[in-house]
Amino acid sequence: MKGIVFTEFLDMVEDKFGLEMVDKIIINTNLKSEGVYTSIGTYSFSEMLQLLQHLSKYTDISIDNLLLIYGEHFFSVIENSYPGLLATYKDPIEMLSSIENHIHVEVLKIYPDAELPTFLVEEKSEISLIMVYKSSRAMHHFGLGLMNKTFEHFNTTATIQLEKIKEDGTEVRFTVIKN
């Protein structure tokens, strides 16, 4: 997993829960990296899982809800770091439907060894989108947070339903209806 995911996660923890919480989850987690990350490095997903589990334990917030909060935080990173990418879209449905064939292509140019989830569009109209998320990491709530902020970025709202195709969350169907 790319280091930017870790560095931004720890920034989010500091912003939302304080520097003491960052120290607490790092100290109480058996991390091969010892909690030292660079944005361009590559680290084991198990470290992210451990950080999430400890943060969940200390905050009484579920891992899914922490991933949702983190996805919403991470959208601001995209807004600030890649405004040109967002500017190519005039509509949130267009943007979300292009994750696989455009956005992930651009991410791979920056981080060639990134392991990205797959988003398969099943159905699309001007006001709705049905797509399937597939990833062994089961971070679908991170994706949900990004989707929420996508609609906010375009000054609109949507109802987004999440249906687990596989109980472990490695395959999830998102049904998005623009309000």
Helix (H, G, I), strand (E, B) or coil at 64: helix
pLDDT at 155: 97
pTM here?
Answer: 0.94
Return d(Cα 178, Cα 158) in angstroms, integer: 4
pLDDT in tens, 87-137: 999 999 999 999 999 999 988 888 888 889 999 999 999 999 999 999 999
Q: Which residues of 62-96 are buried (b: 16+ CB within 10 A; e: fewer)?
A: ebbebbbbbbbbbbebbeeeeeeeeeebeebbebb
- Other Cβ atoms less than 10 A from the Cβ of 51: the count is 22
Tracing tokens 């249906």 back to the chain, one arrives at: 163
**51 and 21 Cβ atoms separated by less than 8 Å:** no
The chain-wide mean pLDDT, for the chain, equals 95
Mean pLDDT along residues 34-39? 94
pLDDT at 118: 96
Helix (H, G, I), strand (E, B) or coil at 138: coil
Beta bridge partners of 90: none
**164 and 90 Cβ atoms separated by less than 8 Å:** no
Show the DSSP H helices in 83-159 as ranges.
83-87, 92-97, 104-110, 140-153
**174 and 147 Cβ atoms separated by less than 8 Å:** yes
Helix (H, G, I), strand (E, B) or coil at 90: coil
